Amino acid sequence: MRRSAPAIALPTPASPGAPRSDWQTLRKVLPYLWQYRWRVGLALGFLLAAKMANVGVPVLLKYLVDALALKPGDVRAVLVVPIGLLLAYAALRLCTSLFTELRELVFAKVSFGASKQIALEVFSHMHALSLRFHLERQTGGLTRDIERGTRALQSLVSYSLYSIVPTLVEVTLVLAFLGWKFDMGYVWITLTALVAYITFTVSVTEWRNKFRREMNELDSSANTRAIDALLNFETVKYFNNEAFEAARYEKGLESFRRAQVKSQTTLSMLNTGQQLIIALSLVAMLWRATQGVVEGRLTLGDLVMINAFLIQLYIPLNFLGVLYREVKQSLTDLDRMFSLLERDREVADAPGAPPLAVTEGVVRFEDVRFAYDPARPILHGISFEIPAGKTVAVVGPSGAGKSTLARLLYRFYDVTDGRITIDGQDIRSVQQASLRQAIGIVPQDTVLFNDTVGYNIGYGRTGSTPAEVEAAARAAHIHDFIASTPKGYATMVGERGLKLSGGEKQRVAIARTLLKNPPVLIFDEATSALDSANERAIQAELKSAALGKTALVIAHRLSTVADAHEIVVLDGGRVVERGTHADLLARGGRYAEMWRLQQADENA
């Protein structure tokens, strides 16, 4: 009779929502900036001061030009004009640059701090996602999305505060001054030009965005192919497929190149239309100002001032298309990164979950059923117990579900039905961090960091002393090999540990697990990559390490588990036999058949 699992409150998976708008993305950015609100306010104050000084430059230039209309020999031409107005002109120029630099200095901590925080959140969330996500991810495209997303936050803040907002402030100040000093005709010409310019820019940029998005997707696709090929370079060489991979990459780069050309062509169209609008508005403004000078309503200084205003306004507007495109692209990149943050964790701690309390270390699998895909069940009601301080081995043919048991015990996945307990505590009801802290594993496929041997062994318990690392290496019978290398424990192992042999990598994995020294151990084909002599030596060390600990041994080679307190035989995701080595041999069943076949292979 099947035992029903107790109800456990688990987090509700996030349901995919509608595509996020730009304003929704901006609202998600605001909390990262809000913590620096006083710096934002101070930066905006410096921005306003810089723009007021910048607008004052053409005004002072007007008075400087008008003041030069003196009679020859007038002493003011030598003393007052050059010394007074020229120094004031230089001071305003200096103030413009000074306030701009102060704004950037004050705001630097905001943009860099917010980028750091969001990058850290994404990094932590990626590690919190389930094993299913990491098995399905495309590393090249994912890293490019994260890279673009963190850079996008800085770009968004930089473009908005350093370019768009200052331009809007300056336009407002200039229009107010023109309307007050002259007449509304100048204001309407400028406003008409601005509206036409912005409308044209936004419309064309929106149309161009599809080409930009296509270019980014092709860029990510080409990068994914390149990274995938480099990570699997040995496989590429095994099958002599360097030319094939180069051709695949070239195909991706060619598609990317065509998208780049298309994007550049539409950008040229945008720039040409912008310059036409600017040229027409400049002609209209200067024609009106020139008429005023001819008719005596305006001075020559007024003409110079209006021209300077127009230059100051239209120079930043020249980059409006670029700014708008970059802001839109930054929002798109941020949205993709926020989408990563919103990915369902699948395996999450229950609200208020307590830490695992290991008293004895009894592990039970109770009617465990599991399927990676609902259409293909892997485990069918597995039940067995690993008593405290005992070693239980699980054997069986490939695909029987042996390694799946280790993944479920580590809670990389949650069981479909039934439950797994440690000292009576359902592992779904406790904190994952405390669960994994209590378990050590020597996996079948050992992956190492691209760092030193010492770092990789010490990773089992960060903060360990060199003496502790060396003791673990000696116990795993790898110290002599490390000592024989020129750099010893500072020897780099290469990406994924590829500079080491399979046996050396496995011994490093054993050493770091021994260093962790947890109450529950999992050996998943822990000696599969070792030769017979080293296997016997390490087998003795593993047996010593497992004394007094609860150990689950997953093995294909039956000779390595002959001393286990109990052996569980799996076939097709079901327990078909269980007992000691001697009992199972005497029974003459599936285990005995596997033993005879392996002995025959070894004696052949």
Q: Looking at residue 365, what is its pLDDT?
A: 93
Percent of the chain with pLDDT over 70: 72
- Token pair for 579: 């007992």
Q: Distance between CA 421 and CA 401 in Å, rounded? A: 19
**Structure confidence at residue 17 as a pLDDT band (50, 70, 90):** very low
Residue 318 has pLDDT above 90, yes or no: no
Predicted confidence band at 75 (pLDDT cuts at 50, 70, 90)?
low
Taken in order 586, 592, 595, 596, the sign of the CA dihedral is positive
Per-position b or e across 368-386, b if 16+ CB within 10 A of its CB: bbbbeeeeebbbbebebeb
Beta-strand relationship, 379-386 and 520-524? unpaired
**What pLDDT, on a 0 to 100 scale, did the predictor assign at position 573?**
87
pLDDT at residue 13, rounded to an integer:
38
Taken in order 402, 407, 411, 414, the sign of the CA dihedral is negative
Sorted by sequence, the CB contacts under 8 Å of residue 7 that are 6+ apart come out as none
- Give the span between the Cα atoms of 490 and 176, in whole angstroms: 68
Predicted pLDDT of residue 448: 86
CA distance 309 to 189: 13
Lowest mean pLDDT, pick from 53-62, 184-193, 587-596: 53-62
Residues of the chain with pLDDT > 90, as a percent, come to 6
99/53 Cα distance (integer angstroms) = 9
pLDDT of 293 higher than 60: yes
Cβ–Cβ < 8 Å for 437, 489:
no
> Which has the higher per-residue pLDDT, 4 or 232?
232
CATH 1.20.1560.10 fits 108-341, yes or no: yes
Least confident of 281-290, 343-352, 451-460: 343-352
pLDDT beyond 50 at 16 = no
Q: What is the pLDDT of residue 144?
A: 64
Between residues 215 and 467, the one the model is more confident about: 467
Write down the domain spans for the chain. 108-341, 363-438+518-603, 449-507
Q: Is the pLDDT of residue 588 over 70?
A: yes
Q: Report the pLDDT averaged over residues 414-442.
A: 89
In three-state secondary structure terms, 305 is: helix
pLDDT of residue 9: 40
Distance CA 38, CA 489 (A): 49
The pTM score is 0.58
pLDDT at position 367 is 92
Nearest to 364, CA basis, from 577, 591, 132, 568: 568
Q: Is the pLDDT of residue 364 over 90?
A: yes
Query: What was the pLDDT predicted at 501?
Result: 79
| Cα–Cα nearest to 518, from 439, 572, 415 | 439
CA nearest to 528, candidates 562, 559, 557: 557
Could you tell me which residue, 351 or 102, shows the higher pLDDT?
351
Residue closest to 446 by CA, chosen among 393, 497, 480? 497
* Range 293-315 average pLDDT: 76
The answer, yes or no, to whether residue 64 has pLDDT greater than 70, is: no
Please compute the mean of the pLDDT values over residues 357-361 and round it to a whole number.
Answer: 88
pLDDT of residue 394: 92
Tokens of 68: 């030069």
Is the confidence at residue 236, as pLDDT, over 60? yes
Q: What is the dihedral of CA 570, 571, 577, 582, to 10 degrees?
A: -80
Stretch 17-44: mean pLDDT, rounded?
A: 65
498, pLDDT greater than 60: yes
> What pLDDT sits at residue 421?
93
CATH 3.40.50.300 correct for 363-438+518-603: yes
Q: Does residue 3 have a pLDDT over 60?
A: no
C-alpha distances (whole Å) from 195 to each of 170, 192, 199, 200, 399 are: 16, 5, 6, 8, 67
Between 257 and 56, name the one with better pLDDT.
Answer: 257
* pLDDT of 596 above 80: yes
Is the confidence at residue 6, as pLDDT, over 50?
Answer: no
The whole-chain average pLDDT of the chain stands at 77
> Could you tell me the pLDDT band of residue 197, with boundaries at 50, 70 and 90?
confident
Instruction: Compute the distance between CA of residue 444 and CA of residue 21 in angstroms, rounded to an integer.
Output: 46
| Range with the largest mean pLDDT of 28-32, 38-42, 480-484, 559-563 | 480-484
Region 581-592 average pLDDT:
89
Instruction: Note the pLDDT of residue 133.
Output: 61
Is residue 73 very low, low, confident or very high in pLDDT (cuts 50, 70, 90)? low
Distance separating alpha carbons of residues 456 and 170, to the nearest angstrom = 57
For residues 407 and 104, which has the higher predicted lDDT (pLDDT)?
407
Alpha-carbon dihedral 110, 114, 115, 116, rounded to 10 degrees:
110
